[in-house]
Chain A
């Protein structure tokens, strides 16, 4: 009887059963999407959701612990920092900075890298030589040191950070995309476009670009984690987002002395947020990589 029941269940799965199975098969990265969704939501509605002003504190309420500890109150759910600023509000506004910096820097780096990669791979010859030697030189520079150097020149501000990270990380796209283009341009459909009289520009835009977009998106989702960490690091080192603004990396930097004397909530919460965001971005990237690969998709 049991066996027959099992077979019946397998043969006609209820919708809920199928949904669970699909989740188990890794068909949808529910958790990463959920986390990214929440962080995006917080970032967009930070102004409405944050209970306090993130940049102005009440000095009398310094170093309040989270509400569940002795001395904590429901007024400051996750406690306050050394200037009496609400940690929760700062985290919520920090999400906005991390998301803006993360996405725009990835898009900026991706656009520059993809264009250079396509041009380099498709045109070949001296153009390829110039772009690839430039990429090699760029990759030889220690990324973070280079970013700090740039930040020291242009001065700290959120949009400068975006540009700096874009300039620092475009090379990874250029390399990967160029490799893809090298194999794509030998494909028959590109050669058909050539014998059909398409110009190089048309071929690059219409036949090459759409075929590398998948790779660029996957790489972008993986780069999102790298860029967010880099932003946090720059802020931690004091050359990132300037102090009154609540960047997560900056919160870590501000809270590091407190860690020694037991004010753990100043570092654990922003650290946890960075970790969750980066982890979600990477998991989503892995899922996209499998999902957008036509060979794997057909399985």
Chain B
């Protein structure tokens, strides 16, 4: 394999365009990300920030109204944006797999478990039914389903929620993908099952050398699961870096606000800190920074000029004027106002 990153997304933009073309929703806007083999990347952001659209863009399974309008996605050196639909089908499920938001509903009620776990193996590897079922049994064992010999012949409604969840995990890894995208896989689970499932995902990741993209709005899970973190706001990545860097020293006020809004038992705070205001309408973004209206440390410049990405350290970048190094502060559109803000 080549030594570069497993997946390298460069300046990806995915827009939803209305039928008349009059409204354009910038769900994913100029996103650059990379993930190395075996690594776990967390993507956090509030609802509607473009996390799921980003995930669907990677697999190119967007709804009809959405278009990838710009950017490249280099997966093991191949640009996924350029691939034909038939070529993408070879990627989906085989090299990049995905676990959906509601794994409980991800199983077809009419087919046995074995049938559904074996399906991707049959589709992608042309395996015979017998050997695919044999693999299915092994996979069920791998996700710690007791008595897989009998379970393969059963139907989804005969399983508990946690088991169905693990079966969906088994389907995800059935063709030994290099990258697994998990889109909020634990939101529909209670806490104990959630913890079990996360542990299982981590174990599977270690055993199979999977890279994992973990989409969530739960920063607690990110702290436990992820090596690196990307924070999305209004379709853009506002901050990205290693989990420890960002948790210890967030560079973007939005990340800071997110971290402050985690409930903690120890601090004796009575009220949770919420972020004031609403996320902006993605079809009518303000000219400046999208977070400016809600930002406690907004400067006049923020309302006029959108900040580019600044590198604030090794593998740590943020889209915020506060993170701008001195050198980047000189070419201002509105120099006077901007400087005043910084002083």
Chain A residues engaging chain B, CB cutoff 8 angstroms: 124-125, 187-189, 191-199, 202, 206-207, 210-211, 294
With contacts A196-B123, A197-B120, A199-B89 taken as known, whether A188 is within 8 angstroms of B105 at the C-beta atoms is yes
CA–CA, A210 and B102, complex, Å: 22
Residue B50 at the chain A interface, CB threshold 8 Å: no
Q: Which residues of B contact A206 (CB under 8 A)?
A: 119
Quick check: B92 and A197 within 8 Å, CB to CB? yes
Q: Which residues of B contact A191 (CB under 8 A)?
A: 61, 100, 106
Within 8 Å by CB of B105, from A189, A194, A195, lies A189
Quick check: A124 and B123 within 8 Å, CB to CB? no
Quick check: A207 and B91 within 8 Å, CB to CB? no
Quick check: A124 and B61 within 8 Å, CB to CB? no
With contacts A196-B119, A196-B171, A197-B124 taken as known, whether A189 is within 8 angstroms of B106 at the C-beta atoms is yes
CA–CA, A206 and B112, complex, Å: 13
A2 to chain B, nearest CB (A): 42
Residue B283 at the chain A interface, CB threshold 8 Å: no
Quick check: B93 and A210 within 8 Å, CB to CB? no
* Interface hits, B72-123 → A, CB 8 Å: 89-94, 97-98, 100-111, 119-120, 123
Quick check: B168 and A192 within 8 Å, CB to CB? yes
Within 8 Å by CB of A197, from B93, B101, B104, B109, lies B93
Q: Can you list 16 A-B pairs, Cβ within 8 angstroms, ordered by A?
A: A187-B105, A188-B100, A188-B104, A188-B106, A192-B100, A195-B93, A197-B89, A197-B90, A197-B93, A197-B94, A197-B123, A198-B89, A206-B119, A210-B110, A210-B111, A211-B108
Within 8 Å by CB of A195, from B90, B92, B123, lies B92
Quick check: A125 and B64 within 8 Å, CB to CB? yes
Residue B143 at the chain A interface, CB threshold 8 Å: no
Residue B59 at the chain A interface, CB threshold 8 Å: yes
Quick check: A196 and B92 within 8 Å, CB to CB? yes
CA–CA, A202 and B92, complex, Å: 14
B91, B101, B102, B110 — which one has the most chain A CB atoms within 10 A of its CB? B110
Q: Which residues of B contact A195 (CB under 8 A)?
A: 59, 61, 92-93, 97-98, 100
A193 to chain B, nearest CB (A): 8
Quick check: B108 and A207 within 8 Å, CB to CB? yes
CA–CA, A155 and B19, complex, Å: 48
CA–CA, A199 and B97, complex, Å: 15
Q: Which residues of A contact B100 (CB under 8 A)?
A: 188, 191-192, 195
Q: Which residues of B contact A211 (CB under 8 A)?
A: 108-110
With contacts A197-B124, A202-B123 taken as known, whether A192 is within 8 angstroms of B171 at the C-beta atoms is yes
CA–CA, A39 and B225, complex, Å: 67
Within 8 Å by CB of B91, from A124, A187, A197, lies A197
Across the interface, name the chain B residue whose C-beta is closest to A195.
Answer: B98
Q: Which residues of B contact A197 (CB under 8 A)?
A: 89-94, 120, 123-124
CA–CA, A194 and B59, complex, Å: 10
Q: B238-258, CB under 8 A of A: which get 1 and which 0?
A: 000000000000000000000
Interchain residue pairs A-B with the least CB separation, the first 3: A196-B93, A197-B93, A197-B92
Quick check: B119 and A189 within 8 Å, CB to CB? no
A138 to chain B, nearest CB (A): 27
* Interface hits, B268-300 → A, CB 8 Å: none
CA–CA, A211 and B104, complex, Å: 18
Q: Which residues of B contact A198 (CB under 8 A)?
A: 89, 93, 119, 123
CA–CA, A294 and B109, complex, Å: 10
Q: Which residues of A contact B107 (CB under 8 A)?
A: 189, 192
Q: Which residues of A contact B89 (CB under 8 A)?
A: 197-199
Quick check: B108 and A196 within 8 Å, CB to CB? no
Within 8 Å by CB of B92, from A125, A189, A194, lies A194
B64, B89, B111 — which one has the most chain A CB atoms within 10 A of its CB? B89
Q: Which residues of A contact B64 (CB under 8 A)?
A: 124-125
B160 to chain A, nearest CB (A): 16
CA–CA, A206 and B110, complex, Å: 10
A177 to chain B, nearest CB (A): 16
With contacts A202-B123, A207-B108, A294-B109 taken as known, whether A196 is within 8 angstroms of B97 at the C-beta atoms is yes
CA–CA, A195 and B92, complex, Å: 6
Q: Which residues of A contact B119 (CB under 8 A)?
A: 193, 196, 198, 206
Q: Which residues of B contact A193 (CB under 8 A)?
A: 108, 119
Q: Which residues of B contact A124 (CB under 8 A)?
A: 64
Q: Which residues of A contact B97 (CB under 8 A)?
A: 195-196
Q: Which residues of A contact B59 (CB under 8 A)?
A: 195
Within 8 Å by CB of B61, from A125, A188, A194, lies A194
13 new A-B contacts, CB < 8 A, other than A191-B106, A192-B100, A210-B108, are A189-B106, A191-B61, A193-B108, A195-B59, A195-B93, A196-B92, A196-B120, A197-B91, A197-B93, A206-B119, A207-B108, A211-B109, A294-B109
Across the interface, name the chain B residue whose C-beta is closest to A208.
Answer: B108
CA–CA, A177 and B90, complex, Å: 30
Q: Which residues of A contact B111 (CB under 8 A)?
A: 210
CA–CA, A195 and B110, complex, Å: 19
CA–CA, A164 and B28, complex, Å: 53
A190 to chain B, nearest CB (A): 8
Across the interface, name the chain A residue whose C-beta is closest to B120.
Answer: A196
CA–CA, A194 and B124, complex, Å: 13
Quick check: A188 and B123 within 8 Å, CB to CB? no
A197, A198, A202, A211 — which one has the most chain B CB atoms within 10 A of its CB? A197
Q: Which residues of A contact B90 (CB under 8 A)?
A: 197
Across the interface, name the chain B residue whose C-beta is closest to A202.
Answer: B123
A194, A202, A210 — which one has the most chain B CB atoms within 10 A of its CB? A194
B186 to chain A, nearest CB (A): 15
CA–CA, A199 and B122, complex, Å: 13
A127 to chain B, nearest CB (A): 13
Across the interface, name the chain B residue whose C-beta is closest to A196.
Answer: B93
Q: B171-203, CB under 8 A of A: which get 1 and which 0?
A: 100000000000000000000000000000000
